[in-house]
Every structure is written in structure tokens, then in C-alpha cells.
Amino acid sequence: MSAKRTIATNTIVQLIGKAVNTTSSLLVTLLIARSLGADFYGEFTKAFVTATLFFIGIDFGLNAIVVRRIVKDQANEQEEFRNTLGLRLLFAVASLALLAVFLLLVPTSVDQGYSARVKLATLIFGLTFFEHASFTTANSIFQRRLQYAKSVLASVVGSLVVLGAVAVAVAAKADIRIVALSHVAGSLTMMAIALVFVKDMIGKVSPTFVWRKMMGLFKEALPLGFTLLLSVLTTRIGIIVLSLLKSNAEVGFYGLAYRAFDVALVFPTFFMNATYPIMVEQASQGRDKLKKIVKQSAAVLLVVSLLSTAALYSISPLLAFIREEFGQAQTPLKILSLSLPLFFLTSLLQWTIVTLKKEKVLIPVYAAATGLNLTANLLLIPRYGMLAAAATTVITEAAILFLLAFPVLQSFRRIDRETS
């Protein structure tokens, strides 16, 4: 199968799965928002976003390193998987401990900040850390073999379990803690199915805890992992600051807008999931081939991003149909939609830099972006609220794209000189 066809096939498979998952997730959002209102949805957003912020610490960019290693030595596939799983499970334990410390330090309040029940719900969401560690590691095998259909099937079944459990919880007028448990049930289902598939592919899937091997993987992934951590922080700082300074309702409005925006961001993620292994192989055959696939990918991502921006901007008024009060989420969604081309192209540049083995240049870029985003949000959110959170997201991503373009263009100019 040609590279283009392989990328297209695996991207389409992931998008089909995401269509099902997104439909399920949107139904969950509609159930919570329409039945229980903006205040409840604000509580849900606080708990969910705070917990899932730690996902990136569990992910830590390990799959990119593992895939790169397996491409070089396929005989070590099982060993790499088990070693990675062991390391990620330790990350999950550490993340849950850090989450608990954060919740202890944050003041307990009723409308602003974190109430006692929101804190407990956040800890319950933290139980999904162990599922995330297992499922993300399983995806390294699916990605390397470009068999994303198995990953999609596991995630679809898990999302349907979440939908069913949340529907029961909402019908029973249960509180946020039961809704959190519904997500844990779906996560465990997804993890179990994914590990069964991986076991059929590579044999043993039990984690190993060999310190030397885990530290070797950790050190190799450190530049990318730290970068991804900073990258997620730049997109989530706004919600965290809103959670601390604004009402549950305003957090709910922005949370709904960001949820719709986040759906559009799945395309570059899935596209690069399918493209990255091929980029690694092409780079090993000659960097001129890598340049060609990057240029073709940029064209695809730019076109899709512009269409996505137009679609998201146009449908923003529909938020009011969920519940009249959610009409206030229209403006932040429109602002966020303008940043889609930036996010799409940034994803390509980031993984191009990883393919070129220049991960270290990512750290200062994302460190600066995180500082910019945090400063802007702290200064602007007290006065402008969720509109400031949306605007700073756009500004920060524009700065990241500008800074990442330099090392990539510099490398490609060097390639041109070598081939001329």
C-alpha cells in the first residue's frame, strides 16, 4: 500500500471512530447541559478538565520514541511495550498523588473554585489515569502496525458505555460524582478491549519494571514529554484560571465552547498519528523524501483547517438550542475557531521536528508560550472572563507556529543545499 493510501486509510478509520465517539460525547454533553444546566456543567468541566490535564504527564511523548525504536528493531516490540506500560503505570500513580495534593491546596468554595463534591469527583476522574496509561501504550502498537481499527473499536465501545451510564445517572438526577464514575466504567471497558487486541498481536502484555530500561526510555522522551506537557498547559490554563476566578456558569459556557472546538482538533491528531510512522521511514531513506511528505501534509491540513473554521464559526449559534443560557458560549467559540489553521499546522511542524530528532528545540518554544498564556490569562480573565481565555488561546498558538517554523525551514534549506 502506498504512503498516501496508508495515511488516508488510517486517518479515515480514526475519523469514523471519532465520529461515533464524538456523537456519544456530544450526547453526554447534551444530557448534562440540557437536563442539569450551566452550573452543573461548570462543575463537570472543572472536575473533568482538571483531572485530564494530568493525562499528558502519563502520555509524556513516549509513543513517539517507542514507535521510532520499533521501526529500527521490530524484534523488541513486546519488550518495548511492557517497559513502556510499566513506566506509564508509575506515572499514573504519581499523577494521582499530585492531583490529590493540588485539591488539598486549592480552597474549598461553593460557586467559584472547587466545592467539596467537585474535588471528590475530580479524584474519581483520576482513576482513569490507569486506563489512560494502558490504552495509550496499546496505541503505540496499533500506530506502529497502522492497525488503528482495533484502537477505534475499543474506544467506541468504551464511549458507548459512558453514554449509557451517564444517561442512567442523569435520569436519576445523580450528582457529579456519579457522572465521574460513569466515565471510569467506560474507561475500564476501553482498556480491557485494547489490551486483549495487543495480547493477540505481541503475546505478553504485563508491565515490566526494570529501572535501567525505564530510565533510558524516560531520558530519551524527556524533551518531547516536557514539550507536550507545556503544550497542553497552554490550552488548559484558561479553563483552570476561569475555574478559580469565575462562576460555575461561566466555566460551563466556556467549557461547552471549548468542547466543540476540541472536536475539530481531532483531525490533525489523527492525521499525524497515521503520518508520523511514515515520516520516520521516509526520513531514514533521505530527508528530501521527508520534505516532500511534509509539504503535501501541510496542504491537506491547511485546506481542512479552513473548512473546519468556516463550519465551526457558522454553527456556533446552535449552542443556544441546547439551552437558551448556553447562547453565551457563541462568542468564545467563534474566537477559538479562528485558531484552527494555527493548531493544524503547529501539529505538523511539531512532529516534523521530532522526526528530525530535534526535540530539544521545542522546549524553549513551549516554555515561552506557557509563560505568555499564563500571564495573559491572569491579567485579562478577571476583567474579560471567558472571552480573554479564548483570545489568549489564539494569540499563544500563533506565537508557537511562528517560532516552530524557523527550525523546520532551516532544516529544509539545508536539505535543498545538499541535494542541489
282-313 confidence digits (pLDDT tens): 777 767 778 888 888 999 999 999 999 999 99
Average pLDDT for 234-248: 84
More confident residue, 165 or 231: 165
pLDDT greater than 70 at residue 50: yes
Instruction: Dump pLDDT digits (tens) for 321-339.
Output: 888 888 898 999 999 999 9
Average pLDDT for 92-108: 90
Cell of 249: 456558569
Q: How far is the C-alpha of 379 from the C-alpha of 147, rounded, in Å?
A: 46
Q: How far is the C-alpha of 336 from the C-alpha of 325, rounded, in Å?
A: 19
Distance of CA 111 to the CA centre of its chain: 28
Q: How far is the C-alpha of 241 from the C-alpha of 82, rounded, in Å?
A: 38
Residue 320 sits at the vertex; the CA angle it makes with 319 and 323, to the nearest 5 degrees, is 105
For residue 378, the model assigns a pLDDT of: 93
Q: How confident is the model at residue 106 (pLDDT cuts 50, 70, 90)?
A: confident
Least confident of 3-12, 98-107, 258-267: 3-12
For residue 155, the model assigns a pLDDT of: 86
User: Is 176 in contact with 123 (CB distance < 8 Å)?
Assistant: no
- Between the alpha carbon of residue 377 and those of residues 85, 240, 360, 365, 390, the distances in Å are 36, 10, 27, 18, 9
Q: How far is the C-alpha of 302 from the C-alpha of 417, rounded, in Å?
A: 27
Q: How confident is the model at residue 188 (pLDDT cuts 50, 70, 90)?
A: very high
Name the percent of the chain lying above pLDDT 70: 92
157 burial (CB, 10 Å; 0-12 / 13-18 / 19+) is middle
Count of beta carbons in the 10 Å neighbourhood of residue 50: 25
Between the CA atoms of 190, 224, 236 and 382, what dihedral angle is there, to the nearest 10 degrees?
A: 170
